[in-house]
Structure 1
Amino acid sequence: MEKRTLQTIGFVGLGVMGKSMAANLMKAGYTLLVFTRTKEKAEDLIKEGASWIPSVKELAEQADVVITMVGYPSDVEEIYFGEKGILAGAGPGSYVVDMTTSKPKLARSIYDQAKEKNIHAVDAPVSGGDIGARGGTLAIMAGGDKEAFDALAGVFEAMGSNIKWQGEAGAGQHTKMSNQIVIASTMMGVAEAMVYAKAAGLNQEEVLESIGTGAASSWSLTNLAPRMIKGDNAPGFYVKHFIKDMGIAIESAEELGIETPGLRTSKKVYEAMAEAGEEDSGTQAIYKYLLARS
């Protein structure tokens, strides 16, 4: 398969995490092209030197690497496939990297169609939220050909610090599902612990100091429990997107023939939160939701 020097990166999806990821690519010296449905979302990056491209197909025609970080699997399908999609515009030897948390089967479909056009496709979902995106410390879980992963090393290093190749196409998404399964039950536990500490009349900050370095320690406890206590529900990761992820994980688990009771319980709670008006809140709003019902 033809390969090329990777300098021009096209980025699709400038949400809570995507904008910071794109900014870090520019800081690393890459030429950045961006596409958003509304140009206004890209204004900050344009001021820093990025170029806005009016369609994903045109962006793919001009980029060595196209990175996508959108909301849902349906969004991924829309931008990759069809006459106006990324795969229609990308040239031989170019790279397409979907960093959206999406379906493993969809990652495999993108890989198969890309390979027919001599395009290198990698699925590389991330973990670390807005904090990791801003700091360039995201965990990046990649699936696809090892040679393609190795060629993208510099690109990934501009956005993350824990970067691992997990296997063939779809393996990155399967790894992210494992990640989300852990987080689903962990977030329930963190929120319940903070509600319990408050009900017991304890100083929640001091409780965190005690349990944060022991067996209960986790990223969620360290980074999101303080936000819970302060009432800061700004989205580092949206409730609505977490529900989407949990749905994918449940579907994938069913295909593998395994049970996920903790995941299913967490999804029910988050769906109730969304119905109560918290779908655009950060996932840490689960504390607010449980506290109100205690």
Structure 2
Amino acid sequence: MLLLNTLFALALSTADPVGFIGLGIMGQGMARRLLSLPRPLHVWSRNHEVTKAIAAQYPGMITIAASPAAVIDACERTYLMLSTPEVCEEVYTMESGVLEGCRPGKAIIDCATLRPEDMASLGERVRARGGSFVEAPVSGSKAPAANGALIFMCAGDKATFEAAEAELGVMGKKSVFCSETVGAATQMKLVVNLIMGTQLVALAEGLVLADKLNLSSKDVQAVLDQGAMASPMVALKGPLMAKHDYSTAFPLKYALKDMRFALSLEEAPELPVSAAATALYAAADDEGGLGDADFCAVMEAARGAIGEKREC
């Protein structure tokens, strides 16, 4: 064991560092996965307590940077996982922010889910300072991030994408390069999340109806799991929804954000089913106060909608 630890420490000391900015629900798992390469990690997050806690878990492996620019200055490639367009804009443009650190030889790989025009703007500003840029939004939530099972949808500088394959490989099970045009990967991510969010609403409404009919949710789940509608999400979320367990893996407010972004795409036709599903997430967030719960808490909005209908 001592020999293995010595060899690991030696490999770590001679490896080039990688940067990570944003240690929220997703970022924590992704950053931990990068340490398995092994590579020293330079990190920065708006939540300094979380940053210190993670660094304490991995003594000698993580350097807490004073700013986003300091992370980028120390690393050839820096990953970002931030929550909203507003947060991204703040972290990019703040004093000693991301843009201040960009220069030739520095690569930014942004894993946030934004609007295509947001990603395009960020990419243009990074490239204007001489850096390279890849957008890399992910499919997956807290557990896949921790287990290295994310799916990356990427677009932008292809050479940067190819150079990052080992890092993407320990954080995810699949990486898809969509285009050299920044924005294409974000479009792909919004389509995927629109389908996912709408599917979850259908599951919620079905479970509410089953409850109204006094059918066993376990029996419903057994049929779903063995039929054509079986999927990892149905298998995971169905039992949680049946027992009203909304422990957060993917916050409902972010699912709502993504679905609204998808519906607002300039190229989007009228999508009545997805629009109706989005309205239920909005009800769960605005009226139900469930924005910070897992997105399967849309079950409560479905329950309310069906209850109101039955009372009319």
TM-score (norm 1): 0.92
> Which residue of the other structure, out of 184, 190, 201, is the alignment partner of 2:203?
190
Q: Compare 54-63 and 130-139 and name the one that shifted more.
A: 54-63
Partner of 1:171: 184
Matches within 5 A, 1:4-23: 7-23=16-32
> 1:6·1:64 contact (CA, 8 Å) conserved in 2?
no
Q: Does 1:51 align with 2:44?
A: no
Q: Does 1:27 align with 2:27?
A: no
Q: Distance in 2 between matches of 1:6 and 1:190?
A: 47
Q: Distance in 2 between matches of 1:6 and 1:29?
A: 8
Q: Structure 1: give runs of 5+ residues left out of the alignment.
A: none
Q: Distance in 2 between matches of 1:161 and 1:181?
A: 21
Give the aligned residue type for 1:215: A
> Which residue of the other structure, out of 200, 207, 224, is the alignment partner of 1:211?
224
Structure 1 position 126, deviation (Å): 0.6
Q: Distance in 1 between matches of 2:169 and 2:151?
A: 10
Structure 1 position 95, deviation (Å): 1.2
The C-alpha deviation readout for 1:34-85, integer Å capped at 9, x for no partner, is: 1122321113320113121121122221122111111101111222236532
Partner of 2:279: 268
Q: What is the Cα-based RMSD across aligned positions, in Å? A: 1.9
Partner of 2:132: 120
Aligned to 1:29, the other structure's residue is in SS state coil
Structure 1 position 161, deviation (Å): 0.1
Aligned in 2, Cα 1:158/1:197: closer, same or farther, shift over 3 Å?
Answer: same
Partner of 2:299: 287
Give the aligned residue type for 2:273: G
> 1:66·1:95 contact (CA, 8 Å) conserved in 2?
yes
Aligned in 2, Cα 1:149/1:233: closer, same or farther, shift over 3 Å?
Answer: same
Partner of 1:256: 267
Aligned residues between the structures: 288
Aligned in 2, Cα 1:269/1:151: closer, same or farther, shift over 3 Å?
Answer: same
Aligned to 2:33, the other structure's residue is in SS state helix
Task: Give % identity.
Answer: 27
Q: Distance in 1 between matches of 2:174 and 2:226?
A: 21
Give the aligned residue type for 2:111: M
Q: Does 1:234 align with 2:243?
A: no
> 1:228·1:288 contact (CA, 8 Å) conserved in 2?
no
With CA pairs under 8 Å and 6+ residues apart, which has the higher RCO, 1 or 2? Answer: 1
> Which residue of the other structure, out of 142, 151, 174, is the alignment partner of 2:154?
142
TM-score (norm 2): 0.87
Q: Distance in 2 between matches of 1:108 and 1:224?
A: 34
